Chains A and B, each alone.
Chain A
Amino acid sequence: MQVVTFDPQQFNFITAGESSYFLLRLPDGSMVLYDDCCDHRGGPLHLGHWDDTRKCLVCPWHASKYSEKVLRSRAIPLIQHSGRVTAVLDTAPTTQIKLVRKTILAQPR
């Protein structure tokens, strides 16, 4: 496992080897770090959209839906503290980790 701490204002996307994760701020203000790869066919979830009516994230490829409950229960272990976030990634210690800033289209407005 690797533990990474960063400023969520500066970075909102992590690549760890072949995997990638995006930071999503939920309507109540809490954040989740979620696997960017849709369970269905691997669509890039950060390019999905937030359905305000159904309170869920929608995959841009085949409209698979991820409720807040699912996002919270399956997200990467994350701690928000004093304006920073710490994530615990289930990767080998040698896996290269990169922090990136991207446009998260799935972000609830």
Chain B
Amino acid sequence: MNDSGHTSLPVALAPAETAAPAAVEHDYSLTAVPGWWWQPQDVKHLIELYAARPIFDDTAEWLIRDNPYRRPIDRQSIKDFDFSQPLNKSAALGASALAAHRMLLNIYETDLIFLPDKNFEAKRKDFASYYSNDNKLLGEVIRPTLEAHVFDFLKDEINVTGKWSLEAVKSYLQSLIAKHEQSELELCTAILSSADPQRACRALMVQLACDFLTEASASTRNILGKYGDIQSEFFKIVIDDYGYGVHPAKHSTLYENTLATCGLISEAHAYWQFYLSSSLALSNYYHYVSRDHSKYFQAIGAIAVAESMFSHTCHKISQMLHAVFGKTVDTYYFDEHFHIDAHHGRMAFEHVVAPAIERHGNAVIPDIVRGMEELQVLTSLADEDFIAQVSFCDEAEDLKAAGRRIHAQILEGSVEKPATTHVANRSQSLVTRVYDQDQLYVVESGELDLVLGPDQTVRLGRGEAMIVKRERLHGTAVVSDESLYSVYEMGNER
């Protein structure tokens, strides 16, 4: 008996010939995506509307304390971006990618529950707005355009051909693991050789917080439904991540402890302003392939490779944390993953990927291999992005000196660069951004802070200057009653 009160049998067993006359064929798939109902210019307008929602407005502080619904997008810049075309890989860390990824994570995470630790009543309006139908529906309409903008380059980047077998996939995965386990992590090398290893290490913990504080949330999208014993095997991996319902054992709780002993805040998205585009991309990718169930096989490929490689990654990060912070840092999150992900890698392949291939045929393999590859492309991009940001932060004084030199050349007329001049009062609203070209900031009067990370600010006084490299995340804040400053577009010469 179904819930309607009617018996379902006559309907379910009705022979085809007694069914309603064949309807006129419609290609409904066309009506559900932008391009049919929604022309690119309409979607752009909707994206601007989405970014203009008050909860996504700039914030008064760089750190967003205990309010998981406040997630700045930088609505002032949105109008300048063309989201209608896919980015290529070389633009994947650019300004429009950062905005698109911020919006996508906002959209995806309306499916998750976030509650503040304290004082819910004061945040109730934001809570209601974030989970409102308006927010969710608007997000749904713009989501495919944003996904295509930031993820379609993966289709060109990767091609899987040939006659694959389960054995070939296994050999390929083993070769990836063997290569990874022989490698020193470039991330760790960059942190250890940084001018300020503790700052660089905290920067990494901030990037990882984007995903680790909601660990496995995207994967939970694949544990519902009905698809046999593979579903139950997948579920085992997820419940490990959730600590079997024991809160102190939940992996996100372990990560909160690591953050605390590194001197960082563990509230969800407190560091929203400081997430790099590539860190958001990694979190978003899991949602992208797990939310759209036609990408299920990509999702399990990505998860198999992630689980298989994460053990070694965690081992190296744990060693690096001890080298940087000594014995006081809590590395249990990483030590636990060093242990359990050796199992999860095996479980993901032997109990999820392999049975999926055996049951559903070799035709699913290209999707599985694509998922493995796509995750690696995004992980490499995230490593490059993070290392470049560490290098940028380390070079701040050099970039000030270079800025002074170039500004002198501009003043004497030997160099010409387009500039915009700003007169601003003390900053009340803050947002971080990246630019697609190098920028030169020059302060004519007053004081301007260039914020390079949650614990690094470069203050520029009158006559001081600094270059901000393209694709490097930073924020600006006028810290005097008024400031006159110029921003020169330097192009991309190195």
Contact = CB atoms under 8 A, between A and B. Distances in A.
A75 B168 contact: no
**Chain B contact patch, size range:** 20 to 34
Given A3-B172, A3-B175, A86-B172, A75 B159 contact: no
B162 A81 contact: no
A88 B160 CA distance: 11
A29 B175 CA distance: 26
A30 B373 CA distance: 16
Interface string A57-92: 000000000000000111111111110001110100
Contact of B168 (A1, A32, A33, A82): A1
Interface string A1-25: 1110000000000000000000000
A30 B162 CA distance: 11
Nearest to B167: A1
A78 B172 contact: no
Contacts of A81: 157-159, 373, 376-377
Nearest to A71: B161
B369 interface: yes
A3 B174 CA distance: 9
Contacts, number: 65
B114 interface: no
Interface string B164-199: 110111011011000000000000000000000000
Interface in B103-148: none
**Chain A contact patch, size range:** 20 to 34
Given A3-B175, A79-B373, A82-B377, A90 B168 contact: yes
A31 interface: yes
Interface string B355-369: 000000000000001
Contacts of B380: 82
User: Which of A29, A77, A88 lies at the interface centre, i.e. has the most chain B CB atoms within 10 A of its CB?
Assistant: A77
Contacts of A32: 161-162
B384 to A, nearest CB: 12
Contacts of A33: 161-162
Contact of B159 (A1, A3, A79, A87): A79
B163 A79 contact: no
Contacts of B171: 1-3, 88
A29 to B, nearest CB: 8
Contacts of A29: 159
A35 to B, nearest CB: 10
Contacts of A76: 162-163
A31 B162 CA distance: 9
Contacts of B377: 81-82
B175 to A, nearest CB: 4
Interface string B365-390: 00001000100110010000000000
Contacts of B159: 29-31, 79-81
A75 B167 contact: no
B157 A77 contact: no
Contacts of B165: 77
Nearest to A32: B161
A34 to B, nearest CB: 9
Given A81-B157, A82-B157, A75 B163 contact: yes
Contacts of B157: 81-82
A2 to B, nearest CB: 8
Interface of A: 1-3, 29-33, 72-82, 86-88, 90
24 contacts: A1-B167, A1-B168, A3-B171, A30-B161, A33-B161, A33-B162, A75-B161, A75-B163, A76-B162, A77-B163, A77-B164, A77-B172, A78-B160, A78-B161, A79-B158, A79-B160, A79-B172, A79-B369, A79-B373, A82-B157, A86-B172, A88-B164, A88-B171, A90-B168
Given A3-B172, A33-B161, A81-B159, 15 more contacts: A2-B171, A3-B171, A3-B175, A31-B159, A72-B162, A75-B162, A76-B163, A77-B165, A79-B172, A80-B158, A81-B157, A81-B158, A82-B157, A82-B380, A88-B168
